[in-house]
Amino acid sequence: MNCQLASDSVLYANGLYRVVYNVAGSFLPCWLAYLIAGLVIIFILVNAVLLGAAVITWGERRVLGRFQNRVGPNRWGPFGMFQPIADLLKLLTKEDLRPQGSDRIVFALVPILMVAPLILLTAVIPFAKNAALASLNVGVLYILAVSSVSSVAIFMAGWSSNNRYAMFGAARAVAVLISYEVPVVLSLLGVVMVAASMSLGSIVEAQALPFILVMPMAFLVFLAGMSAELNRSPFDVAEAESEIIAGYHTEYSGVRFALIQAAEFGGVGVVAAIAAVLFLGGWSGPWSEYLGWLWFLLKTGVVVFLFIWFRATYPRLRIDQIMAFSWKFLLPLSMINLAAVTLEVFFLRGDDGSLTTADLGIMAAINIVVTVVSVIVFGNLIRDRVTLRTRQPQQVAVPGVPTIEVS
């Protein structure tokens, strides 16, 4: 039995997959080798996502602690690193509660539906050169499609919980997710246009100059949109703790809650990885042949840190303000970005349709100016009269108010 993987298969580029497939294929039927190789990769990915989520929970709590003048978890393991394991063990021993009158099947499906898209997303992320499980030629489209599944899961959670706070959270989450999809898609169009490909691997290779410099506005819109889609501060209305308890996951406890938390923090990691691939040059860096994974992890870590920083700093916006921010600020910005990039690509591209590093440099110079100008202009347009009036402590005469005097 000598199995051959078709070289145009989406799995062909993955070295590990080929090794496992060839070894298994040497003594097993081809379909079984195909299956076993797939399962091995899935096992690795699932664990990578969950372990990543654990590391991010720990990191977030430590970093938040430092932001807030406190220590954060530091008891178990070096620097408290095993804290997520302790948390998980605690949650696993909890009673599995289901509220009365809940839709049992939908309620139980939600945690699975929340974790699944994350694992699917990791399948296309190139951790290093040729290290993506599947180098899809429609990678960006795939990311956008799969990441939208979580809004369905959130709404299912709100609907099935039979809890009004959960319903509030779910309604808010769906409204936010749908609004922020639009500017995010538009900002990613610019990336696709410059790279002239939707495959994540080709996008990384096209970044002779990281796209964060070539189109900073797209990066800003992407970052804002993604913090809204992840329900993170300042757009965390879906689980606004001070308003609606925990939002859509109010009724979840025990292992289901653990899965939802894992999905939330894993989501941060995956989105940070996508941002690193699309805007920060993914695995590229010095000695990227050998150290690509390190650069990739570093860049991902920087974006994760940005998200934690946002969370430690910003108060939350109200739902109508979040909507206004999306439609009146991010959407125009992403459209300006798209228009600018389109024109630049049209005028700068060579005869074969490719862009040189010098072209990218010119684009960066133009786009940084465009970004600064349009952020200032649109920022002033939506400021909504929040200018400061300095007020000194003083007696103010109030018309129509009887004066009260004490003898």
Partner 1 sequence: MTIRTEPVTVNVGPQHPSTHGVFRVRITFDGEDIVEVEPVFGYLHRGSEKLAEERNYVQVITLTDRLDYTSSMINNQAYCLAVEKLLEVEPPPRAKYLRTLTAELQRIASHLIAVGFFVQELGAFGTPLMYSFRSRERILDLFEMLCGARVTVSYMRPGGVFADAPRDFWPALDRFLEDFEEELAEMEQLLLENEILMVRTRGVSPIPAEVAINCSVSGPVLRASGINWDWRKQEPYDAYDQVEFDVPIGSNGDNYDRFWVRMQEIHQSLRIVRQCIAQIEPGQVRLDLPLVLRPEAGREAYGRVEASKGELAFYLVSDGGISPYRCKIRSPSLINLTIIEHLLVGWKLADMIVSLGSIDINMGEVDR
Q: Which of 78, 286, 315, 353 binds partner 1 (CB under 8 A)?
A: 315
Q: Which of 93, 100, 242, 357 binds partner 1 (CB under 8 A)?
A: 242
CA distance 278 to 375: 21
Least distance to partner 1, CB of residue 263, Å: 19
Q: Is 327 in the site for partner 1 (CB under 8 A)?
A: no
Q: Is 350 in the site for partner 1 (CB under 8 A)?
A: no
Q: How many residues bind partner 1 (CB under 8 A)?
A: 43
DSSP H stretches of helix in 210-356: 211-214, 216-229, 241-244, 254-279, 288-313, 319-324, 331-348
| 90 vs 164 by CB, closer to partner 1 | 164
Q: Is 380 in the site for partner 1 (CB under 8 A)?
A: no
| 236 vs 344 by CB, closer to partner 1 | 236
Q: Is 406 in the site for partner 1 (CB under 8 A)?
A: yes
CA distance 201 to 139: 9
Q: Is 386 in the site for partner 1 (CB under 8 A)?
A: yes
Least distance to partner 1, CB of residue 309, Å: 11
Least distance to partner 1, CB of residue 214, Å: 29
Q: Is 394 in the site for partner 1 (CB under 8 A)?
A: yes
Residues 175 and 231 sit within 8 Å (Cβ to Cβ):
no
Q: Is 105 in the site for partner 1 (CB under 8 A)?
A: no
Q: Is 96 in the site for partner 1 (CB under 8 A)?
A: no
Q: Is 354 in the site for partner 1 (CB under 8 A)?
A: no
Considering only CA atoms, which of 309, 319, 175 is closest in space to residue 240?
A: 319
CA distance 350 to 196: 13
Binding span for partner 1 by CB under 8 A among 75-83, 188-196, 308-316, 367-375: 308-316
3-state secondary structure of 62: helix
What part of residues 163-192 is at the interface with partner 1 (CB under 8 A)? 164-165, 168
Token code pair at residue 250 = 């109010």
Taken as a whole, the chain contains a residue count of: 407
Q: Which of 24, 319, 331, 370 binds partner 1 (CB under 8 A)?
A: 319
Query: Per-residue b/e over 171-198, b at no fewer than 16 CB within 10 Å?
Result: bbbbbbbebbbbbbebbbbbbbbbbebb
Least distance to partner 1, CB of residue 168, Å: 7
Displacement of CA 130 from its chain's centroid (Å): 22
Q: Is 245 in the site for partner 1 (CB under 8 A)?
A: yes
Provide the mask over 56-75, with x wherever binding to partner 1 is found by CB under 8 A and - wherever it is not.
--------x--xxxx-----
CA distance 153 to 158: 9
| 107 vs 168 by CB, closer to partner 1 | 168
CA distance 398 to 172: 40
Q: Is 312 in the site for partner 1 (CB under 8 A)?
A: yes
| 109 vs 323 by CB, closer to partner 1 | 323
Q: Is 286 in the site for partner 1 (CB under 8 A)?
A: no
Q: How many helices (H) and strands (E) does the chain have?
A: 16, 0
Distances in Å between the Cα of 109 and the Cα atoms of 170, 259, 379, 393 are 16, 11, 42, 57
Residues 150 and 110 sit within 8 Å (Cβ to Cβ):
no
Footprint on this chain of partner 1 (rule: CB under 8 A):
64, 67-70, 164-165, 168, 233-234, 236-237, 240-245, 311-321, 384, 386, 388, 391, 393-396, 398, 400-402, 404, 406
